[in-house]
Amino acid sequence: METEKYDVIIIGAGPSGLTSAIYCGRAGLSTLVLEKGFCGGQIYLSSLVENYPGVKSTDGATLIATMVSQAKSFGAQILENSPVTEVDLEGKTVKTEKADYSADSIIISTGNRWRKLGVPGESELVGRGVSYCATCDGPFFKGKEVAVIGGGDSAIEEAMYLTKFASRVYVIHRRDKLRAEKYVQEQAFANEKLEFLWDTQVKEIAGSGKVEKLSLENSKTNETTGLEVSGVFIYIGMLPNTEMFKGALETDERGYIKTNERMQASIKGVYAAGDVRSSPVKQITTATSDGTVAAVSAVQQSQGLL
C-alpha cells in the first residue's frame, strides 16, 4: 500500500481535533483528520450546551457540524469511519484498513469514554434499558420511572434532561454529597421530578429482556433494597482512549497523556489535546484551547521554530 504524506495527522474529530484542523488548515498545512466513527466525540450527544462563549445556547450536534464545515473550508481532509489500526509515533506513521499515512507531526485528540459500572446485568441489558446517553434514549421513557447513577455534572445535567420525559428520575449516588457544580446542584434540588438516593450503590441490574429492577445497597447501613425502574442511565465518569498508544507515551496514573504547555507529549512531534490529555478541567472550551495550542505548535514545528 502506498503511503500518503501529510504535514499533520490529527487522530480524533471531537472539539479539540476539529479546532486543530481549523488552525492547521488555515495555516496552510496539509491536514488529515482520522475519525474512528463519526465526528463529534462526547459532546455530539449533549442535548444542551450553554457554556461555549459566543454561542448562547445550542446542542452538541449543531456545534460540531459548524466546526466540521469550518475545518473543511480551510482545506482539512476529514475521514470518518477510519479507525487507526496501527501507529508508530516515533516514525510518524499511521495505518487504517484503507491506507497508510505519514506526517511530520501527529496530534492525538482521541478523547475519553464512559466508565462502566461493572455490575451483573449491565452489559446484558445495554440497549434494553441500560443507557449511557440520555439524549439518545430519553424519549423512550415517556411517563416511566428511571434511575441515573453518579453525582457529577454529567449525571445531574442528564438527570434533569430526563425529567422532560420520565415521570420520576432517581439519582443514585454512592456518597451523600454531589460532585456537580453548585449552580447545577441548585437547579437539580429545585426539580420536583428528581429524587436523590444517597450513600447508595447499585449491586445488580435485573430484568428479563429489559430493565425492570435495581438491587441497591446503602453503604452506611448495608441495608439492601430493590427499586423498580424501566431505565438506568450510567454517568460515573470517563476513561481515556489511549489503548493504541499504550507504553509509547508518558501518561498520568489514570492513563491520560502527559504534555507540556505546548501540548507536546513525550515524543517529539507528537501532541495531545482535549479530554485525552492529563488536565484538571475537561470542557469544550478547554478542548478547543488545547486544540489551538497543539495546532500552533505543529505549525511552528513545520517552520523550524519549535
User: How far from 239 is each of 18, 187, 249, 287, CA to CA, in Å?
Assistant: 21, 27, 16, 16
Q: Which 8-state DSSP code applies to residue 89? A: T
Note whether 155 binds ligand NAP by CB under 6 A. yes
Residue number, 235 or 256, with CB nearest to ligand NAP: 235
d(CA 98, CA 264): 28
d(CA 232, CA 144): 11
Shortest reach from residue 141's CB to ligand NAP, in Å: 20
For the chain, the maximum distance between any two Cα atoms, rounded to a whole number of angstroms, is: 65
Candidate ranges 6-14, 58-66, 171-179, 289-297; the one touching ligand NAP (CB under 6 A): 171-179
88 is catalytic: no
Candidate ranges 21-29, 57-65, 146-154, 244-252; the one touching ligand NAP (CB under 6 A): 146-154
Number of residues that bind ligand NAP (CB under 6 A): 19
- Give the residue, chosen from 25, 40, 151, 240, that forms a contact with ligand NAP under the rule CB under 6 A: 151
d(CA 112, CA 98): 25
Shortest reach from residue 116's CB to ligand NAP, in Å: 9
3-class secondary structure, 64:
helix
Shortest reach from residue 227's CB to ligand NAP, in Å: 15
Shortest reach from residue 244's CB to ligand NAP, in Å: 22
Note whether 235 binds ligand NAP by CB under 6 A. yes
Shortest reach from residue 115's CB to ligand NAP, in Å: 6
Q: State which amino acid sits at residue 33.
A: V
137 is catalytic: yes
Residue number, 25 or 150, with CB nearest to ligand NAP: 150
For every residue of 99-165, DSSP letters joined together read -EEEEEEEEE---EEEPP---TTTTTTBTTTEES-HHHHGGGGTT-EEEEE--SHHHHHHHHHHTTT
Active site residues: 133, 136-137
Q: Point out which residues bind ligand NAP (CB under 6 A).
A: 51, 117, 149-155, 157, 174-175, 179, 235-238, 282-283
